[in-house]
Amino acid sequence: MSIEKIDVADLDVIFLTYDEPKKEEFWATIQNMVPWAKRVDGVLGSDAAHKAAADASDTARFILIDGDNIPDPAFFNQQLVLDDNTRDCVFRWRARNTINGLQYGNGGLSSWTKDFVRNMRTHEASDGSAETLVEFCFHPQYWAMADCFSTTYPNGSPFQAWRAGFREGVKMCLDRGARPSLAEFNSRVVSRNYDNLCIWQTVGQDVDNGAMAIYGARLGTYLTMLTDWDYTEVQDFAKLKELWDKYSIDQYYNDEFLYELDQALTKRLGLPITWLNSEQSLFFKHHYRSNFKNQGIMVRE
């Protein structure tokens, strides 16, 4: 079996942005950190945007940075060690989420091959299979990695935070991209996703717009599991903006509607959620995964 070692610093780095409120500020930071970085901006659709990133890369494998992510500088001193089984794989490393302290693949750094991206059909270009309608991650060559190498800041505006929470509130309910029935919910949702779902719906009032992320996560779960809403719309950013306008802060973000959401999610789904205040959220984030340490860039979850 042949072994190939690739310095991360030898790969093209693509900063992929759309409408993130702090994308220009983050781009300046990334340019200082990674002077060879390139940028793709404003491409509608997750599949199309990733294909544009692949087209922008001059190296067969490239690093992708989301528009609300700041990498740890140490990442660019790492080395990928590939063999015949991993040469064509996508790697997604964990990110620390500034809203709720979670550390998982959402918003994290990733490494793709141009061939993989050009051949995939996901999101708006999906073939219709549940695994590809709202996610990339169910492909056997898409690897979730154990180490954390960045921080994601999806709270630059009320809408961005709400959308981030809403998307995870939907996707964490699904079983390989498919919506379970109400009776199947507790048995089919992966335990780690269940934990993440509850944290999204509970923690974050210590940061700007954190309450909007919690609201979004709760609403996403409610619409997915307790209404006939088409959950595949979660991959369509225009549809998400329509939902934000429909469930506006002025009309819906009030004690009465929040109580209805809370009762539906805790009574009908049995979610063990609550509202942590700022101090409680800080306490949770201080202690959550406090012993987490990176194990090596090529270690899988």
Three-state SS for 180-226 is CCCCCHHHHCCHHHHHHHHHHCCCCCCCCCHHHHHHHHHHHHHHHHH
Residue of 64, 60, 57 whose CA lies nearest to 91:
64
Is residue 50 a contact partner of residue 117, using CB atoms and an 8 Å limit?
Answer: yes
Is pLDDT above 90 for 35? yes
The model's pLDDT over 187-208, given as tens digits with 9 standing for 90+, comes to 999 999 999 999 999 999 999 9
Residues 108/69, Cβ–Cβ less than 8 Å: yes
Longest dimension (CA), the chain: 62
The chain-wide mean pLDDT, for the chain, equals 95
Comparison of pLDDT for 134 and 221, the residue scoring more: 221
How far apart CA 161 and CA 127 sit, in angstroms, is: 30
Taking residues 52-75, what's their average pLDDT?
98
Give the per-residue pLDDT at 292. 87
- Report which secondary-structure segment, H or E, holds 51: helix 46-56
The DSSP 8-state label assigned to residue 2 in this structure reads -
* Cβ proximity of 84 and 136 under 8 Å: no
Say what the pLDDT of residue 226 is: 97
User: What pLDDT digit, counting tens, does each position of 107-146 carry?
Assistant: 999 999 999 999 999 999 898 898 898 898 889 999 999 9
Sign, Cα dihedral of 210, 212, 217, 222? positive
Distance CA 181, CA 174 (A): 10
* Per-residue confidence (pLDDT) for residue 209, from 0 to 100: 97
pLDDT value at 290 more than 80: no
| 138-182: pLDDT as tens digits | 899 999 999 999 999 999 999 999 999 999 999 999 999 999 999
DSSP letter for 178, please.
B
Tokens (6 digits) for 46: 């997750």
Q: How many Cβ atoms from other residues are within 10 Å of residue 55's Cβ?
A: 12
Distance CA 240, CA 229 (A): 12
- H helices within 57-150, ranges in order? 114-119, 130-133
pLDDT at residue number 37: 98
pLDDT at 256: 87
Q: How confident is the model at residue 57 (pLDDT cuts 50, 70, 90)?
A: very high
Task: Compute the residue count for the chain.
Answer: 301
Whether the pLDDT of residue 251 is over 80: the answer is: no
pLDDT tens sequence across 5-21: 999 999 999 999 999 99
Going along the chain from its start, the domains and CATH numbers come out as 4-152 (3.90.550), 158-287 (no CATH)
User: Residue 45 has what pLDDT?
Assistant: 94
pLDDT bin (cut points 50, 70, 90) of residue 100 is very high
Side-chain-facing half-sphere of 56: CA atoms under 13 Å:
20
